[in-house]
Structure 1
Amino acid sequence: MCVLALAWKAHPRWHLVMAGNRDELHARPTAPLAHWDEPQPLIAGRDLLSGGTWLGVSKAGRFAVITNLRGHGTPRPDRSSRGTLVTDLIAGTGRYADPDRAELSDFNPFNLILADHDRALFLSNRPESVRSLLAPGLYGLSNGTLDEPWPKTLRLKQILLDWIVQGATEPAQLLDGLGEDTLPAAGLNPATPSDVPQEPQLSPIFIRNPVYGTRCSTVVAVDSHGQGRIVERRYTSTGEVSGETTITFSWPRGIDGSQ
């Protein structure tokens, strides 16, 4: 993912709501959102090049999303795939399943948010390994530091806040907001260029580019009883909608402790 907003325990109705876009080379092979049986049971899109995912949920009650972290040079090919980290954390199995012990230095630069029934964590590995507990609130994340006030990040946080305050329950408004392709007026421009040559230093929420652009928009919403929905809207290289998938799920117990 390259821009996202997350509401963590920010409203009595919602345990977690996330809206975000994945920006990537259009030529990179990807499978759409689906149930996985192997190697781990989870719900996610799949990066067919490295085999992992950038975002997903598990029926066991975990959510994770990752972004690349710019300003540290070209990714090293000898590093472990960042998609493996996400997959292991969501599934709760594998070498990197424990967020408190996972060796974060094994990966190229990243930001990651992991949430379950009880806590939300922010993980990063540049300039050093970071594991921070997130307090209830509204967060924005792109390819800089957590809550770095890039224009598109501030705008997406506002879209998510409006959705919550208005008492909305359907993802359509959030998906439409994720399609905004004009530069917002407010915010601080990124101080460093992207490590992806095809990506401009400053970009809107939705990147419309035939080589490198927004591949999909995703909304994840889990209510206070553990009832969840994940929606993925996919795009062609010209920015047209090519498909949409919605999957509902239930976490093992109510977030509030009820059965």
Structure 2
Amino acid sequence: MCLVLWAYRQHPRYWLVLAANRDEFYERPTAPAHWWTEAPHVLAGQDLEAGGAWLGISRRGRLALVTNYREPDRRAAGRRSRGWLTRDFLLGDEPPASYLQHVLAGSTAYNGFNLLVGDAETLVYGSNRREGIDVLAPGLYGLSNHLLGTRWPKVTRGLERFRRILQTDPVDPEALLALLADRTPAPDEALPETGLGYAWERRLSAIFVATPLYGTRSSTVLLWSWEGTLTFVERTFGPGGRPLETRYYQTEIASSAGASPRTS
């Protein structure tokens, strides 16, 4: 997952609006979003190589997503798949903050990651590349492959368009999918320097990444209403960004007890 945008308690209709792209090598075997056979309350894609997930939600109101932390010089072989961080939370019942604290206590078992977990009451963020956890306040957020708050060009560009889309009611999932399909690279002077070299920094600076071997494998839109109705849309892609299929799910999940929409 290389770009996640979300609005938390910022819309009169939705407790959470989330739009995300997952970037990965096309050769890595993957199952698209589905209700899991072994856990029918969980809706998520699955990494068929290591068994984890990058983004998912459950009918019990548990949400989790992970992004890799881009640091090519520190990546080590043999560590536990970061997709299990998401999977373990979706299948468990530990409160988000407690779960994240336990994860970070043993985080050397993983390469660098950003992890967002939540339930119908709270959202919590943490990374094994910084100390502590953040219980998030209501607001608009953007995350890529660096720490939350790092304004890489794709994050800044995405948030600008995301903010405009949030002015509509209801929010159109297709508008968010169109945002996620933006292939415009960042200007050279705005490119981050993460050790990959100019050519790859430029390719990866776009919201939607498309190369022959690596790129955006799925775009996901999640609309979680104050009443507990979930709309989940996933569009998957093959090499070069070729569209494969779109899956649409709607179900009822736990709502945020005692919460009220933003009125300002």
**5+ unaligned residues in a row in structure 1: which ranges?**
none
Deviates further, 245-254 or 150-159? 245-254
User: Which residue of the partner structure matches residue 92 of structure 2?
Assistant: 92
- Kindly state the Cα deviation for residue 192 of structure 1 after the two structures are TM-superposed: 1.5
Q: Tell me if the contact between 1:35 and 1:43 (Cα under 8 Å) persists in the aligned partners.
A: yes
Q: Tell me if the contact between 2:238 and 2:244 (Cα under 8 Å) persists in the aligned partners.
A: yes
Q: Go from structure 1 to structure 2 and tell me whether the alpha carbon gap of 1:208 and 1:63 turns closer, same or farther (over 3 Å shift).
A: same
Using the alignment, how far apart are the partners of 1:67 and 1:252 within structure 2?
25
The 4+ residue runs of structure 1 with deviation greater than 6 A are none
DSSP-derived class of the 1:51 partner: coil
2:200 corresponds to 1:200:
yes
1:10-45 CA-partner distances (Å, limit 9, x unpaired): 123211111011111000000011001316741001
Q: Go from structure 1 to structure 2 and tell me whether the alpha carbon gap of 1:135 and 1:185 turns closer, same or farther (over 3 Å shift).
A: farther
- Kindly state the Cα deviation for residue 75 of structure 1 after the two structures are TM-superposed: 2.8
CA RMSD of aligned residues (A): 2.5
- Kindly state the Cα deviation for residue 93 of structure 1 after the two structures are TM-superposed: 5.1
1:37-64 CA-partner distances (Å, limit 9, x unpaired): 3167410011000011000001111111
Q: How many residues align?
A: 254
Using the alignment, how far apart are the partners of 1:157 and 1:187 within structure 2?
20
Deviates further, 180-189 or 51-60? 180-189
The letter for the 1-side match of 2:119 is D
1:110 to 110, 113, 117: 113
Taking the TM superposition and a 5 Å limit, the aligned residue runs for 1:102-181 are 102=103, 103-126=106-129, 128-181=130-183
Q: Tell me if the contact between 1:8 and 1:138 (Cα under 8 Å) persists in the aligned partners.
A: yes
Using the alignment, how far apart are the partners of 1:113 and 1:58 within structure 2?
14
Using the alignment, how far apart are the partners of 1:4 and 1:109 within structure 2?
17
Using the alignment, how far apart are the partners of 1:199 and 1:143 within structure 2?
17
Q: Tell me if the contact between 2:57 and 2:64 (Cα under 8 Å) persists in the aligned partners.
A: yes
Instruction: Normalising by structure 2, report the TM-score.
Output: 0.88
1:86-115 CA-partner distances (Å, limit 9, x unpaired): 011122259x98223223332110011112
Q: Tell me if the contact between 2:20 and 2:220 (Cα under 8 Å) persists in the aligned partners.
A: yes
**5+ unaligned residues in a row in structure 2: which ranges?**
none
2:52 corresponds to 1:52:
yes
**Greater fraction helix:** 2
DSSP-derived class of the 2:90 partner: helix
- Kindly state the Cα deviation for residue 241 of structure 1 after the two structures are TM-superposed: 1.1
DSSP-derived class of the 1:222 partner: strand
Instruction: Normalising by structure 1, report the TM-score.
Output: 0.89
2:25 corresponds to 1:25:
yes
The letter for the 2-side match of 1:135 is A
Q: Go from structure 1 to structure 2 and tell me whether the alpha carbon gap of 1:191 and 1:130 turns closer, same or farther (over 3 Å shift).
A: farther
User: Which residue of the partner structure matches residue 236 of structure 1?
Assistant: 238
DSSP-derived class of the 1:71 partner: coil
The letter for the 1-side match of 2:164 is D
Using the alignment, how far apart are the partners of 1:167 and 1:39 within structure 2?
33
Using the alignment, how far apart are the partners of 2:10 and 2:171 within structure 1?
15
Using the alignment, how far apart are the partners of 1:227 and 1:119 within structure 2?
17
User: Which residue of the partner structure matches residue 211 of structure 2?
Assistant: 209
Deviates further, 85-94 or 58-67? 85-94
The letter for the 2-side match of 1:227 is T
Using the alignment, how far apart are the partners of 1:63 and 1:148 within structure 2?
22
